[in-house]
């Protein structure tokens, strides 16, 4: 689980400060406030780790077909008005179960720009509670490598340059000797944490009438959720101890949302194609023929059950095309699945219904403020500012942002005033 994130000089974030994350973290705020950048920073690291070129320092996106985020060039990412040194940084802390113990790790990296315009690591730090490794950029692309609090570097040279933001080169590991094994284990744990990030994306693909299934479970759902149906087909049709579990779990939440009672799979001819059927109010319909809300929420529900335990799921506006009750039930999905399956959810949302119901779950003790954190992002001039919401054990918010969800009490008072005025006018006429 990623339990802390810290951005500096990255887009709207001059300095986010250490942002504590929980098993469920909800990000709220106005449009263009900077919420998405918090998620994008993690996606930058994930796609950098997956880059085919190990010498890349940070993949800003745009070259690879499978890039999750495309942020342009260095100047597009650097916060406005940053004076020398022109650098931005990303730092995170994580904890990852390894057998009977939990590995705690910390990553911090600052990035600058070379004379040719490429992004280059200026300083990389990887550490645990007991060990610390650093690589610092020197002149002409050389890097000095330090261990713990040693004043003198173990070595210096261009061959010691970091790779994919999270690791040092084979030459650097060899130079470190037995300490290299510790660093390699730490880099591998961080790599697995970043590879465990799952991102369905905010814009989900419209459903098809039938699907050609490869008779295998998909590796990922895709950033537009297009392989969610493949995941459901695999769970429904491949023999295993968990056969049908995902399909039943997704149907359970659709039933809670009032959108379907059951899901089923049916072969279409003998061509290896299948259709997903939605059972609702006594009618059985092809997924293509039901309301768009079902197809849009399916990837969100599917990823909750196909993401491996220990994964971090990033969601942007999961409430798209959902009616108010369904939006509220999403709070139950995140709270319950995070506890049962040890899956972390970072949710950017504008839904008052989702937020309000999470408050209710806290009041009911179905979750708590340790398991669920609520963060508000606002703009102050050109800078994004993070305000952790102070939620008590009854779900009440002590530092509520003014007018973010509108003025419900003010609207009620205005309606009552207008009604009284009209009644007076009617009686006097």
As to burial, measured by CB atoms within 10 angstroms (0-12 exposed, 13-18 middle, 19+ buried), residue 80 is exposed
What is the DSSP-derived secondary structure letter of residue 276? E
pLDDT value, residue 207: 85
Residue for token pair 């969800």:
405
- Phi then psi for 399, rounded to 5 degrees? -120, 60
Task: Please report, for the chain, how many H helices and E strands are present, in that order.
Answer: 10, 21
Dist CA 368 CA 392 (whole Å): 9
Dist CA 11 CA 29 (whole Å): 16
Per-residue pLDDT reduced to its tens digit, 55-100: 999 999 876 667 889 999 999 999 988 888 999 999 999 998 777 7
282: number of Cβ within 10 Å: 6
Query: 210 CB contacts (<8 Å, ≥6 apart)?
Result: 268, 273, 274, 275, 286
- Structure tokens given for 352: 């008052």
> If residue 378 lies in a helix (H) or strand (E), which one and from where to where?
strand 372-380
One-character DSSP codes across 228-248: HHHHHHHHHHS-STTTTHHHH
As to burial, measured by CB atoms within 10 angstroms (0-12 exposed, 13-18 middle, 19+ buried), residue 39 is buried
Q: What are the helix (H) ranges across 268-348? A: 292-306, 324-341
Q: What angle (nearest 5°) sits at the alpha carbon of residue 35, between those of residues 30 and 37? A: 140
Distances, alpha carbon 49 to alpha carbons 44, 163, 231, 244, 373, in Å: 9, 9, 24, 33, 28
Dist CA 395 CA 397 (whole Å): 6
Residue for token pair 């790779």:
163
One-character DSSP codes across 314-327: EEE-TTTT--HHHH
- Structure tokens given for 370: 């340790």
Residue for token pair 């918090």:
38
- The answer to whether 88 and 9 have CB atoms below 8 angstroms apart is yes
How many C-alpha atoms does 65 have within 13 Å on its Cβ side?
0
pLDDT value, residue 414: 75
In order of their start, the domains of the chain are 2-196 (no CATH), 198-367 (3.40.50)
Distances, alpha carbon 81 to alpha carbons 78, 178, 375, in Å: 9, 44, 26
How many C-alpha atoms does 45 have within 13 Å on its Cβ side?
31
Dist CA 7 CA 90 (whole Å): 5
Dist CA 86 CA 71 (whole Å): 17
Dist CA 168 CA 180 (whole Å): 9
pLDDT value, residue 420: 84
Query: 189 CB contacts (<8 Å, ≥6 apart)?
Result: 94, 96, 98, 103, 105
Dist CA 47 CA 64 (whole Å): 9
Longest alpha-carbon distance in the chain? 95
pLDDT value, residue 6: 98
Provide the residue-wise pLDDT of the chain in tens; the chain has 429 residues. 999 999 999 999 999 999 999 999 999 988 888 899 999 999 999 999 999 999 999 999 876 667 889 999 999 999 988 888 999 999 999 998 777 777 899 999 999 999 888 899 999 999 998 899 999 999 888 999 999 999 999 999 999 999 999 999 999 999 999 999 999 999 999 999 999 999 988 877 888 899 888 888 877 777 777 788 888 998 999 888 889 999 999 999 999 999 999 999 999 987 889 999 999 999 999 999 998 899 889 999 999 998 999 999 999 999 999 999 999 999 999 999 999 999 999 999 999 999 999 999 999 999 999 999 999 999 988 899 999 999 999 999 988 877 667 666 566 667 778 888 888 888 876
> If residue 352 lies in a helix (H) or strand (E), which one and from where to where?
helix 352-363
Distance of alpha carbon 63 from the chain centroid: 22
pLDDT value, residue 65: 64
What pTM was computed for the model? 0.91
- Structure tokens given for 225: 């959720």
- Structure tokens given for 184: 């390699």
Dist CA 65 CA 322 (whole Å): 30
Q: To 10 degrees, the CA torsion angle through 330, 332, 335, 339?
A: -120
């Amino acid at each position: 689980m990623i339990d802390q994130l810290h951005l500096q000089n990255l887009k709207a974030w001059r300095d986010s400060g250490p942002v504590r994350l929980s098993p469920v973290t909800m990000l709220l705020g106005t449009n263009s406030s900077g919420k998405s950048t918090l998620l994008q920073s993690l996606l930058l690291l994930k796609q950098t780790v997956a880059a085919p070129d190990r010498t890349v320092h940070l993949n800003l996106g745009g070259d690879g077909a499978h890039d999750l985020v495309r942020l342009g060039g260095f100047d597009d990412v650097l916060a406005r008005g940053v004076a020398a040194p022109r650098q931005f940084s990303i730092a995170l802390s994580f904890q990852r179960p390894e057998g009977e113990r939990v590995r705690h790790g910390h990553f911090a990296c600052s990035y600058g720009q070379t004379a040719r315009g490429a992004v280059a690591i200026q300083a990389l730090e990887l550490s645990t509670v007991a060990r610390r490794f650093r690589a610092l950029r020197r002149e002409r692309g050389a890097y000095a490598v330090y261990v713990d609090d040693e004043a003198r570097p173990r070595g210096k040279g261009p061959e010691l340059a970091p790779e994919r933001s999270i690791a040092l080169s084979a030459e650097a590991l060899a130079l470190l000797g037995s300490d290299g094994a510790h660093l390699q284990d730490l880099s591998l744990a961080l790599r697995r944490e970043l590879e465990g990030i799952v991102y369905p994306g905010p814009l989900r693909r419209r459903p098809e009438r039938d699907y050609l299934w490869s008779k295998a479970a998909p590796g990922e759902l895709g950033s537009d959720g297009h392989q969610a149906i493949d995941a459901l087909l695999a769970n429904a049709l491949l023999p295993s101890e968990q056969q049908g579990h995902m399909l039943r779990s997704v149907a359970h939440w659709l039933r809670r949302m009032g959108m379907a009672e059951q899901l089923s799979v049916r072969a279409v001819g003998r061509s290896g194609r299948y259709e997903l059927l939605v059972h609702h109010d006594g009618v059985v319909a092809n997924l293509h023929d039901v309301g768009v809300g079902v197809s849009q929420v399916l990837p969100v529900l599917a990823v909750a059950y196909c993401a491996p335990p220990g994964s971090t799921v990033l969601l942007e506006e999961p409430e798209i095309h959902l009616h108010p009750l369904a939006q509220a039930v999403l709070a139950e999905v995140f709270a319950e699945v995070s506890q049962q399956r040890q899956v972390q959810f970072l949710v950017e949302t504008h839904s008052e219904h989702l937020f309000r119901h999470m408050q209710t779950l806290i009041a009911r003790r179905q979750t708590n403020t340790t398991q669920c954190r609520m963060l508000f992002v606002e703009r102050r001039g050109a800078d994004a500012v993070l305000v952790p919401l102070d939620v008590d054990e009854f779900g009440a918010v002590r530092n509520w942002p003014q007018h973010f969800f509108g003025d419900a009490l003010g609207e009620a008072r205005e309606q009552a005033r207008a009604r009284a005025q009209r009644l007076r006018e009617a009686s006097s006429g």
